[in-house]
Structures are given as structure tokens and as C-alpha cells.
Structure 1
Amino acid sequence: MMSNPAKILTSAPNLELIIPEIPEEEVQKPVKLSIVLPTYNESENIVPIVQHLTSLLNPVLRKDYELIVVDDNSPDRTWEIAESIVSKYPNLRVVRRTEERGLSTAAIRGWQVARGEILGIIDADLQHPPEVLLKMLLLLKKNPKVDLVVASRHVEEGGVSEWSFIRRVLSRGAQILGLIILPEVIGRVSDPMSGYFLVRRNAIANQNLSPLGYKILVEVLGRGSIRNIAEVGYVFQERQVGNSKVSWKQYVEYLRHLVRLRITLWPIGRFLRFGIVGFSGVFVDMTFLYLLSDPSTLGWNLTLSKILAAEVAIVNNFLWNDAWTFGDLSRSQQGWKKRLKRFLKFNAICSLGLFLNVAILNFAYNVLDLYLLPNGRYIANLLAIAIVTMWNFWLNMKLSWRVTQVK
């Protein structure tokens, strides 16, 4: 019987993963830093990594830190080896999970029991150089407004040691895929695939985190309240002992993770308001087209009437979107110059959307052979309208009503 048995975690995988501010039982003795080391069959690496981290952190933080090994019930009994050295390394804690698997959820489970004001994660296989941890800590100390520090392979002093061409292509391909699906999340850092970072607890506390696979940083960026980010370069090392856990399944889980986050983070309420405003613009367009072009009214040229009617509808849509759809953003960007700037951007995007609408309509009708279907032209038009509506909404949210315009 061990004198300091590992804490056994048997929570079902479908439970919400919410990190508390500080666990109640630990509130009287918080520490500055908690580093989680997720492990599975790392019996040969666990002692060296604990030794290395302890030798680095003891002179800087003394007792004001903790290392938390979260082991997924490894067949090689990594958890038992870690638990056997707790008496030698009093800053070490061990969690053994018996019903859950996965690096990302292991990180969160470790943070749930952690006492640190700053939470971190590092691989236990020595592929993440521990020395970089001190640089990240120093950045957080010097910059209290920074919420997240990421160790990156894609900035100065960063890189990989001996990766094959195929592995480099897969890594970059995964990043590009992320930029396509989740640009506002993946694009915030140079190395979103990194599994080596520090984050302030208050930036992710009380958030419902639900990651898949290995890319915990994507979840933190997507669901956390991360304002300012800093990066530190590091060279990813080759594994010296043990076997790599990376397989094709990890790439599938990464894709599922991206899609699930995309669905969750899509601003449904704002999009519905944008759609309602767009629907009102159809009536404005039709009404003015009738008033300007019908022989019983002004009887103007049809093309000129259509251009003017479309522009009136755009003005209508802008005013409603500025006051309602994006009202929370426009109120923080007051002044006629900023409003005019938003209008010009909105007008340009909607005009481009009109050309895109015509292009999609013709492509769907002629190339996809929708002309063979009954009412094919109307089906093609609905498809074009749906795509262009999402185009107009997304670009206007990112360009016309940009939060970054706030001083």
C-alpha cells in the first residue's frame, strides 16, 4: 500500500468540464502556478520530466507551484511511478483516471483540482523543452494584461527538430483547415496546434469546456475570455524514449472539434436579426422598384430604377443593422465619421454580394444542372441567396462592425 495514493478520478466522460475559480477545499492555500502533465504509458519519462521541472521552478517559485500528473490508467503504471516519488517531490500531485481518455480532457481535469492562479500544460515526453516555461512565466509577470502565453514553433527561435516532410505538411494542413473553419479562433496565434502554454485561471474559470482529441489550446481560445496573447518561440524535440500517441484518429478528432466549435460559436441570434433585416430590405427594394419604374407611377428606366431601389434597400438594411443587429457594437463606435465608414463598408460588401449572387445562381443552374429540375431556377436562386446572406453577415461582422475600432 502506497503512503501517498493517487487521487482516482472516475467521472463519466459526458459530464460538463468547468474549471472553478479555486477549489473550495484548497481556497486557503492557493499557489501561483499549476502545471498539468497528461500521461499515458510514459513510465520512462515521468521521473526525468518531474526532476527537470522541479530543478527549474524551485529557485523561482519555491513552494508556490504544483505539478499535477493526470494519468489515463496507463498499462505501464505511469501513475504508480509518479506516486512513488511524491515524498521526494512534495510539489507533485497525481490523478489517475479510470473511465476517461484523451489529452485535452486530462488537462482540464488537472486544472479542476489545481490551486494555481496560473494554469499550464506541458507534454511529459520531454518534447517540450521545460526551460521555455520560465520565459512564459516572466512574460505573464511583466504583462498583467496578458491572459495567455503560447510556446510557438512558428515565431523567432521556434521550429521543429527532425520532422519528416509528410508530418510538416500534415501539421500545416491542419492549421490551414482550422483557419478556414474557425478563422477568428485559429488566427489569433501563430501555432494553434501547440500543446504547451500558460493561461490565467480567471480567463477560463466557470467556462463550459468540451474539447476533443489533443488540441486543448483551440478550446481555450474558442471558449475562454482571452483578451491579450503573447508567444514565445521553442524548438519541438524528438521523443527519446516511448512511443508517439499521434495517429490518424487524432486528425479526425481535430476536425470534429473544429466543426463542433464552429457550430457552438456561430452567433445565431445576431444572424437571425440580420436575416430579418434583410427580409425587410426585399420589401423596400420591391416597393421602390414599383414606384420608380411602373408606367402608372414615374415610369423610369428599369435598370436605373433597379439600381436606385437596391441602394435604398441597402440604406434601409444598414440603418436597421446598425441600430439593432450590431447595436451593441455600433454604440461603442459613435460619431458620424465612424458611422459613414461602417456604411461604406456595408455598401461595398453588399454590392460584392450581388455579383456573388449572380455567379452562384448561374453556376448552380447551368453547371450543377438544376435546370433539369422543375422550378430549378428558383431552387438555384434560393441557394444563392442563402450563401450570399451568410457571406454578407460574416464579412459585415468582421469588417463593417469591427470591435477593434474601439479605442
Structure 2
Amino acid sequence: MSSAVGVADGNTGAEIVSAPQIAAGKSAELSVILPSFNEASNIPILVGLLDEALKGIDWEAIVVDDNSPDGTTEVARKIAQHDPRIRVIRRIGRRGLSGACIEGILASSAPYVAVMDADLQHDETLLPKMLAELKADDTDLVVASRKVDGGTVGEGLSSIRAWGSNIANGLAQKLLNVTLKDPMSGFFMVRREKAEALAPKLSPQGFKILLDLVSSANGTLKIKELPFTFRERQHGESKLDTLVTLDYFGLLLAKYFGDVVSVRFLMFGLVGASGLVVHLLALRIFLLGDMEFNLAQTGASFVAMTSNFFLNNQLTYRDRRLRGTQALVGLLTFYAVCSVGVLANVGVANLMYADPAYWWLAGTAGAIMGAVWNYAASSALTWRKS
């Protein structure tokens, strides 16, 4: 076993602890997957904490970075130059915690893999206990839970986020028959062969990889939950925003309907539902302004398309998100490809608009007619894979 080596990191000022424990020619027993985005300040600290917590265990950490602009990849690679236990995957053109976790797990050859955040909110001292549980009996998955006796959200979640997490937990348990007390946890350890077997069923989108893993297994995984306290973030900012709520509901619906349709399509549909509300509000405002119905319906359609574009760009296609001039070009493209949908929208709505009292029915029918075309065309052209 090598002795510890301290290396100063020029970007963060933190000391990188390098103490390779994997003997020459011996593979890791445990891979710790660290999905990251803008975690340059936390990675060196976390490596030091893992080094301390996992003494006596042959481990490796796989940093899966979504091309962070703060230099997370460079910081992790600098550590890897001195510590062979650290590996780095840099993802370009792809974003999202679930996808990063899946790629990290598939890159591992260790019999056990742990997934934890790189923001220091997960308690690394729990890892040896989780590993011991997997090795002691026939348990397939060990989850660090905030909801079992002894576990708590601590100071890691605001009261609003804690409230939202409780609602999300309840929906997952009721809709998907998930027995986990904390299916929203992002901290767990699993036998690699079990995760690899389920990988083709998992969605690379979204943030709730554990929920996806458990629901995709359909009760075949033997699970144990251990209590832990969710820490407060010390450096950087949370990657979760309000739009993640739609993302989560998309995953719930996809799993509820047996993955018949993709999460991305359902996300597009949820955004489209919000666009329908925008469409009807705009249509009502235009009609109250004595605008002729065809013109009002057309105007409302473009208002809704604009709303849908920006929501889809932020959420549905966050892994292909358009920025700057690309976003402007994308918006114009979105208008163009959806124009056929608008023609169908206006035509159907006009046929149904026989009575002013049923303006909402005519508007809804027209909006629905353009939905399928909008999804197919925008996926192929506006947010096409590079």
C-alpha cells in the first residue's frame, strides 16, 4: 500500500489527498460513482473524505462530469495523475444525473457500485456499512435513507424542498408500488451485475436514478435501507430547479405505463399541457380584445409555441440545450417545423367554432391536433443530436 501524498490544487486551493490503496494488479472491490456538474471545489475535498472513510477497502471513484465550465474535469484529472483510484469521464453534449450515473456504473468492473452526490451532502462514512450489508447476505441494494428511524434531512433541504420531497415519495410509493421509505434518495450501493442487467430499462434523463432502478426491477431486488443525515451544501449551488418537478412526473408516468412511451415524449407532453393552458389564456385575451377568431387562434398558437420552446429547451431537451444564437435559431426552426401543426390547429378549431360559448373546446381540439407533429419535427430538427 502506498503512503499518502499531498498535492495542492491550483484551482481550489484545497489539498488533494492521494493514497492509492489498490495493490498492483488488483482490481477495485467498490466503485463510487460521482456524477458532477460545477463541483470543482468539492471534488478534492470528497476524495480526501473517501480516502479516510474507505481505509482497508480496495476502491475507486469514477467522476462523471457533464463538461462543467468551472473546470471540474481538469481538477479531477489532476487528482487522477497522482491517484490511480480516481477515474474521469467527461460527457460532451449530454447532461443529467441519471445518465451520468448509468455511464459510471457501466464503466465499472467492481462487484459493487455506490452512487453519491459530489456536493458533500451525502455521508461517506456510511459506505463501509453499506458494503458490509451487501457482502453479509443476499441483499442486492442498500439505500441511505432519510426516512427510516435514525435518518433525517438535517439542514440539507429547505422546508419547501423537504415538503416537495415528501409528496414525491408518496406519489412514487402509491403509483409504482415502491416499498422504499425514501425512493427519492440519491445515495445507494448496488451489486453491479444487478444494475447492469437493468441498465437497458433505465432512462438517461432526469435526476431520480434510484426510483428508476427500483421500479424497473419490478420487485426482484432485495433491498435494505440504512439511516443517514442529509448534510447542508458547503460549496457551489444546487442543480435542482422548479422544472425538475415536471421531469419527475414524466418519469412517474413512464414507469406507471410500463415504459410504453419514453420519458422524453412524456416530458414533451407535460410541457405541451402547460402550453395548452398558455394557449387558452392567450386566446381568451385576444377574443376579449374583439380579435377575429382565426387571427386570435393563430396568435395564441404562436404564444404557446414560444412558451413550449423555452420550457422544452430547459427541461425536455436539457441534454441538448440550445444557448445564445443557437437558441434563437432553434426558436425560428421550432416555429417553422410547427407551422404545419398550426395549420391543422387553426383548421380544426375553426370547424368546431360554431358557438362562442365553446371557444375553449375549439381551441383545445386545435392544439391537440398539432401535438404529435410538433414532437416528431422538433426532435428531428430543432434539438437534433449533434
TM-score range, shorter chain: 0.5 to 0.7
TM superposition score normalised by structure 2: 0.58
Provide the secondary structure at the position in 2 that maps to 1:248.
Answer: coil
Report the alpha carbon displacement of residue 177 of structure 1 after superposing the two structures with TM. Answer: 1.8
Deviation at 1:159, TM superposition (A): 0.1
8 Å contact from structure 2 (residues 106, 196) kept in 1: no
Deviations, residues 180-212 of structure 1 (Å, cap 9, x unaligned): 3212xx2x2110000000010121223312243
SS at match of 2:257: helix
Query: Is this contact kept in 1: 2:130–2:189, CA < 8 A?
Result: yes
- Partner residue in 1 for 2:33: 36
- Taking a change above 3 Å as real, the CA distance of residues 224 and 205 of structure 1, as seen in their structure-2 partners, is farther
Tell me how far apart the structure 1 counterparts of residues 152 and 206 of structure 2 sit (CA, whole Å): 23
- Mark the runs of 5 or more structure 2 residues left unpaired by the alignment: 1-24, 261-386
Q: Deviations over 1:280-326 (max 9, x none)?
A: xxxxxxxxxxxxxxxxxxxxxxxxxxxxxxxxxxxxxxxxxxxxxxx
The structure 2 residue matched to 1:60, chosen from 56, 63, 68, is 56
The match for 1:284 is none
CA distance in 1, matches of 2:95, 2:250: 16
Q: Output the CA distance in 1 between the equivalents of 2:229 and 2:244.
A: 22
Task: Find out whether 1:240 has 2:234 as its counterpart.
Answer: yes
Whether 1:249 aligns to 2:243 is yes
* Match in the other structure for 1:160: 153
Conserved 8 A contact 1:211-1:219: no
Output the amino acid matched with 2:240: V
**How much does 1:32 deviate?**
1.4
Q: 1:120 aligns with which of 114, 118, 121?
A: 114
Residue 262 of structure 1 and its aligned partner are, at CA, apart by 1.4
**Aligned position for 2:128:** 134
1:216 matched to 2:209? The reply is: yes
Q: Could you list the runs of 4 or more consecutive aligned residues of structure 1 that deviate by over 6 angstroms after TM superposition?
A: none
Question: Given residue 111 of structure 1, which amino acid in structure 2 is its aligned partner?
Answer: I
Give the aligned CA root-mean-square deviation in angstroms. Answer: 1.7
Report matched runs for 1:239-318 at 5 Å.
Answer: 239-264=233-258
1:147 aligns to what? 140
Mapped pair 1:228 → 2:222: yes
Counterparts in 2 of 1:87 and 1:55: CA distance versus 1, 3 Å: farther
Whether the aligned pair in 1 keeps the contact of 2:35 and 2:118 (CA below 8 Å) is yes
Whole-angstrom CA distance in 1 between matches of 2:174 and 2:217: 20
Aligned-partner residue type, residue 51 of structure 1: G
Aligned length: 232
The residue that corresponds to 1:200 in the other structure is 191
Which residue identity lines up with residue 152 of structure 2 in the other structure?
Answer: G
Distance 2:116 2:243 in 1: 21
User: By how many angstroms is 1:31 displaced?
Assistant: 2.8
Q: Deviations over 1:43-67 (max 9, x none)?
A: 110100011112222x221xx3210
Shift of 1:265: 5.8
> Which TM-score applies when normalising by structure 1?
0.55
5+ long unaligned stretches in structure 1: 1-27, 267-407
Three-state SS of the structure 1 residue aligned to 2:29 is strand
Q: Which has the larger radius of gyration?
A: 1
Tell me by how many angstroms 1:30 deviates: 4.5
Structure 1 CA distance for aligned equivalents of residues 140 and 216 of structure 2: 13
Matching residue of 1:72: 66
